[in-house]
Amino acid sequence: MNNYALIPEWVSISTLAMLALAILLALFRLMKGPTLPDRIVALDLIAALCMCFAIAYAISSSEVRYLDIAAIVALVAFIGTVAYATYLKKKYL
């Protein structure tokens, strides 16, 4: 059943490690960010990195269905970012 091409284990592990480090750095900016748009940018980046993580995990565990996570997060993150921007504009202008 599982006849996918084998990729080396260190490739998937190092990709997941890089993505986890990237999410940690983005969380640091989310906590530190001096202004509110900084935090929104960090949230947008975290959503994109979660999509990357889901895709990389789908490859490393040979499970096609995990690719759906990336599609759903892409839809929700766009709506969320535009909603944050509209909220800021309505509140402060």
Partner 1 sequence: MILISAFMLGGGLFSLLAAVGVIRFPDVYTRMHAATKAPAFGILLLQTAAALYFASLYAIAISLMVVVFIFLTAPVASHSISRVAHLLNIPKWSGMVMDEMDDDLDIADPQKDAKT
Q: Where are the alpha helices (DSSP H) in the chain?
A: 9-32, 36-61, 67-92
> And the tokens for 4?
């996918």
CB 18 within 8 A of CB 78: no
Which CA distances in Å does 66 have to 4, 46, 86?
Answer: 16, 18, 31
Q: State which of residues 2, 5, 31, 61 lies at the interface with partner 1 (CB under 8 A).
A: 5
CB 73 within 8 A of CB 54: yes
Residues within window 24-83 making contact with partner 1, judged by CB under 8 A: 25-26, 28-29, 35-38, 40-42, 44-45, 48-49, 51-52, 55-56, 58-59, 64, 67-68, 70-71, 74-75, 77-78, 81-82
Q: Considering beta carbons, is residue 1 or 64 the nearer one to partner 1?
A: 64
CB 16 within 8 A of CB 53: yes
**Residues of this chain that bind partner 1 (CB under 8 A):** 4-8, 11-12, 14-16, 18-19, 21-23, 25-26, 28-29, 35-38, 40-42, 44-45, 48-49, 51-52, 55-56, 58-59, 64, 67-68, 70-71, 74-75, 77-78, 81-82, 84-86, 88-89, 92-93
